[in-house]
Structure 1
């Protein structure tokens, strides 16, 4: 039976994408455009399991791409629609998996409007997003699941630091106060979290995140986590930090600086399944301010990209994390 509404088609396309993740750098996609222009719209799943809406730019499109935010990220990019043809698309990524039903409803409304009006997918998407703007803004007010996972990773490392020296945590946990890295003392430590069983791919925010501070060394700790009732919640780790002697006032300020409230994070319980540890040196891949010229940086406001960790040298055994922490708080 053929799906009759835009919502049905979008929902069916996501089901057709499957639940397993493709290899890094690859996408699984399903085209959902109109019969006479199937390539106009597609849904895709990447190696991190994130859903992408791909809307093709018409050749005569004169408008601006809609400004999104909150749970949606978007950018213009080339996209191969066949083995021989590459076109420009607006790539809209759903960053918060719990909001998938909302995302599907938005896409479904766009598809229905396309069928009725005969206008391009880009025109209809721009108008649908405008009508959904209040809903998206309301959704974006609360911390996302991704943000809670990121906070959990920092807190998990903070707990290990506090077990060694509670007073040192207040000195070295500088990320919430705008520090270049999450933790900086005698050395620096950046923390990332992963979900799923795919290849380790992390998001690097900015051109400074992989640059050491001065002569200090830099390590990257990537935690692969999974939701499980036997794990710990972020709130439970915060309570444990207070029990270890970390100042409640410090924790309140640190959490507030990253958009959370002490005792009211309301996240699930996580278990850390795997720790990936890397020493970041000059041969580690990535975009860095120290490797770029002043002229090449002119006009750039922000940079965010995904990095496949398997491509990088400097991997260390996970059991060296405590040694790295000891150097950090020395």
Structure 2
């Protein structure tokens, strides 16, 4: 169906709904559209104030993204019940009549996008909202080589977590400045990445970066990369980003985290030629005998912690206490993703 046809369809349904008697304050006049998803048909609605709504069906356990609650658009999770059915929706409402024409075009875009991939309706909704938001974004500074490598390493671990749990992106705390890159509050993962490294010598930032959470565990992941040419194999940076977006259940949240880390997806062409080969991915359990300097160790030694902005390098070459086997890595990933439920 063409864009004008989608626009006409939406307008016809809203016009028919507006002709019905006004409902109660907490009720909607609802009309189903011929776009059927795995959770049921998409619908449009009109509330008692005459505001237009687009209702995208979701599973009752699905979390609907927060943050869109402005004077024009509002998105929230909304259950609706009639004499025969009970269905939960992602309810996108337009609260300003003077934006009605634009809202119709936005809804038509959602219908077209979801119709092409009906198995993930809310993901299609988020994709359209992010695409429209990108219209008003400005270009920022490009990521440098070290930033690209560090983000690539974190995305490798994130993608591993997402393959166990599509919602595991909520564990990714690094872009928000958390001391650990991934954390459940009880268990944490810190990722250290280097390109063409001569040995495993990660740089540690602060006295708390190798400090496990209270009564929890900390794992350090060492990722050794090799920069590849555009035709030399390996994995493209943008390719890894897009793979991560496919595996997650909320693209908009991951895109927001990537933006906080300095990568804006509408600038992807900047990074199309960036490719890395993964030479090593080794996991370590940070045990008391693990090399490092922490505030807890200084306190235990009776030394006052009065030094700020500490940075140092540790050497993980050779046989290091706490080295984790591949089978143990799988168990760690399973435990951490289960904790996030």
Pick from 303, 312, 316: which aligns with 2:324? 316
Question: Which ranges in structure 1 are unaligned for 5 or more consecutive residues?
Answer: 1-139
Aligned-residue Cα RMSD (Å) equals 2.2
1:236 partnered with 2:239:
yes
Structure 1, residues 225-245: CA drift from partner, whole Å, max 9, x if none?
A: 112332222322221122223
The ranges of structure 1 where at least 4 consecutive aligned residues each deviate by more than 6 angstroms after the TM superposition are none
Q: CA deviation at 1:326?
A: 1.1
Aligned CA distance change for structure 1 residues 295 and 200 (closer, same or farther; 3 Å): closer
Unaligned runs of 5+ in 2: 1-139
Query: Structure 1 length normalisation: TM-score?
Result: 0.53
Aligned residues: 189
Note the C-alpha offset of 1:213.
1.0
Give the match's secondary structure for 2:246. helix
**1:142 and 1:153 mapped to 2: Cα distance?**
18
Partner of 1:184: 183
Q: 1:88 corresponds to which residue? A: none
| Deviations 1:299-321, CA, capped at 9 Å, x for gaps | x3311111101374111224532
Shift of 1:295: 6.4
Q: Are the aligned partners of 1:162 and 1:244 in contact in 2 as well (CA < 8 Å)?
A: yes
The CA distance in 2 between the partners of 1:269 and 1:320, in whole Å, is 29
Equivalent in the alignment of 2:166 = 166
Aligned residue in 2 for 1:221: 221
Q: What is aligned with 1:301?
A: 308
Match of 1:207 in 2: 207
Q: Deviations over 1:36-69 (max 9, x none)?
A: xxxxxxxxxxxxxxxxxxxxxxxxxxxxxxxxxx
> Any idea what SS the aligned residue of 1:283 has?
coil
Q: Distance in 2 between matches of 1:218 and 1:245?
A: 24
Partner SS for 1:200: coil
**2:271 pairs with 1:272:** no
Between the aligned partners of 1:319 and 1:199, the Cα distance in structure 2 is: 24
* 2:152 aligned residue: 152
| Aligned: 1:328 with 2:336 | yes
Partner of 2:250: 247
Q: Report the 3-state secondary structure (helix = DSSP H, G, I; strand = E; otherwise coil) of the residue aligned with 1:220.
A: strand
